[in-house]
Structure 1
Amino acid sequence: MDWIATIINGALLGGLYGLFGLGLALVFGVMRVVNLAHGEFIVLGAYLGVFLVAAFPQLPPWTLVLPVALAGYVLGWGLQAGIVNRALRQGNPLTPLMLTFGLSVVLRNTMVQGFGADSRAIDGGALTSAGVDLFGIDALRIGVYPLLVLLLAVALFAALQWLLQRSEFGRVVRATADAPEVARLMGVAPARVFNRVMGLAIAFAMLAGFLLAQRTSFTPFSGVERMLIAFEVVIIGGLGSFRGALVGGIVLGIAQLVGQKLDSNAGPLYAHLVFVATLIFLPKGIAGERR
């Protein structure tokens, strides 16, 4: 039963990991840009959550999910419109890569300057400590909060998939991703599309950071680790595949908790080994390289 509980809890953790990679997969799938500042935006979402929880102590922390996501969308939209689009116009794929790398360094040091290097966390209240027994079996106890995070992740992945496949906005995004010059001839402004895409990506990242802060502590330097997880999720799932990113997150979460079960000091190592094995045996990821 312990192993079954470990696998189930790993899958629940994987829902959060999937959210880490969702924004990264979205930006790469549409703009072919790897946002190296993605991890810092995850941490920034956690710090914003700390600020909002302190500012509105009368509200349950989960009610602040929407403000964090909206702030992320505005920040991502402004970042793309003000900076990244300028780099994309140069036509050199290394320019946005180095730009986001520099941005990650700036954000990290700004957070150290503004918040200090001490670890922080958000007290999620009774929700984060509540648990349920599956099928009434004590050994199969899972947390309510991780379960809700997984359900939220599935809902967000499904909503994004529907948005991109069924809506008018989604058709414009897919057309811009496939042939931006042709889309421009049809009256579409790729820069404006990219603004919205980056807004969504940063909203997902900061939302994931806020949810993470209610599970574990973080510091301004946690972004590197979160970026690594997001990158591994995207590669395991398949570049540009949103459903694959969710599956990749679940695989990574299970691998980490199984590793911790085998060796309490080597949990992340097993997750990284799964990543390396994916590169060797499934170089295009579980879902392949598709949007």
Structure 2
Amino acid sequence: MINGLLLGGLYALFGLGLALVFGVMRVVNLAHGEFIVLGAYAGFFLVGWFSAVPVWAMLIPVVLIGYAFGWLLQATLLNRAVRSGNVLTPLMLTFGLSVLLRNGMVELFGADSRAVDAGALGSASMELFGLSVGVYPVLMLLLALALFASLQWVLQHTEFGRTVRATADFPDVVRLMGVKPERVFCQVMGLAAAFAMGAGYLLAQRTLFTPFSGVERMLVAFEVVIIGGLGSFWGAVAGGLVLGVAQLFGQRFDSNAGSLYAHLLFLVTLMLRPKGLAGGRA
């Protein structure tokens, strides 16, 4: 149960950017998994180049790189697809982008598995309910909760948040107020890419990754968002935790199951609660 919750915190981070982009732009970013893997590679090379800097501190430049990448991608490419008014256009564009990024990473970095050594912090443990639990997974879960809470507060209590919510609901009306929806979309995609690449860097410190890892991460992020409820941030948290627990319990009782029971939970949720645990967009 504890390991499932700790894994679910990372899964929730996978879904945060996807939920944000859908909630504001009504776009399902099929390249989201490749964003996660790009974050893993960015962190891997930064740690190698700046070995004197603590591994945990490299999360900051990875997130900043992610924001710049997402902002530029939205400004130069995705805004044109969103303006088309056809929901299939951004869907197909991000699908093509995912294929391009995946093959580009294979060409640049090769197909070998890599990982980031988290150092002493990665091997540290603590006692929790009489069990020995890794410190780093606990910190990841706390970071996930802090990011979700911060994003929720920003969207609900700041001028930027009000602008984002108004743009999500009435993109044509906000133009009359002097707001450019395209600029808001750039900021939102920048945040989504920053969250995705940050989650990818954290993932690289827990498991091996390759350029092909994005497909599986995209599937996890999609399931997290659907189980939680499209556009609901706290629903994504719940979806990530539930998915992590289902996967670990499934592996406990059937070591060959892998993620089977997590995927079954996704299908059951679709049948029983099509709008997710949160009941829709919050």
TM-score normalised by length of structure 2: 0.99
State the identity %: 73
Name the counterpart of 1:68.
Answer: 62
- List, as ranges, runs of 4+ consecutive aligned residues in structure 1 with deviation greater than 2 Å: none
Verify the 8 A CA contact 1:252 1:274 in the aligned structure 2.
yes
Q: How many positions carry a matched residue from both structures?
A: 282
Aligned letter for 2:74?
A: Q
Name the counterpart of 1:245.
Answer: 236
Task: Give the counterpart of 1:169 among 152, 160, 169.
Answer: 160
Partner-residue secondary structure (3-state), 1:267: coil
Task: Give the counterpart of 1:280 among 267, 271, 274.
Answer: 271
Matches within 5 A, 1:219-258: 219-258=210-249
Task: Give the counterpart of 2:194 among 203, 214, 217.
Answer: 203
Aligned letter for 1:167?
A: T
Verify the 8 A CA contact 1:14 1:254 in the aligned structure 2.
yes
Give yes or no for the alignment of 1:155 onto 2:155: no
Name the counterpart of 1:4.
Answer: none
Aligned counterparts of 1:103 and 1:222: Cα–Cα separation in 2: 15
Name the counterpart of 1:215.
Answer: 206
Aligned counterparts of 1:153 and 1:89: Cα–Cα separation in 2: 32
Alpha-carbon RMSD: 0.7
Name the counterpart of 1:188.
Answer: 179
Task: Give the counterpart of 2:15 among 8, 17, 21.
Answer: 21
Give yes or no for the alignment of 1:96 onto 2:90: yes
Give unpaired runs (5+ residues) of structure 2. none
Aligned counterparts of 1:289 and 1:144: Cα–Cα separation in 2: 34
Q: CA deviation at 1:113?
A: 0.3
Name the counterpart of 1:40.
Answer: 34
Partner-residue secondary structure (3-state), 1:132: strand
TM-score normalised by length of structure 1: 0.96
Aligned counterparts of 2:51 and 2:2: Cα–Cα separation in 1: 33
Give unpaired runs (5+ residues) of structure 1. 1-6
Q: CA deviation at 1:59?
A: 1.4
Please give the per-residue CA displacement for 1:51-78, whole angstroms capped at 9, x wherever unaligned. Answer: 0000011112101111000000000000
Aligned counterparts of 2:184 and 2:154: Cα–Cα separation in 1: 14
Aligned counterparts of 1:243 and 1:267: Cα–Cα separation in 2: 26
Name the counterpart of 2:72.
Answer: 78
Aligned counterparts of 1:256 and 1:60: Cα–Cα separation in 2: 31
Aligned letter for 1:288?
A: G
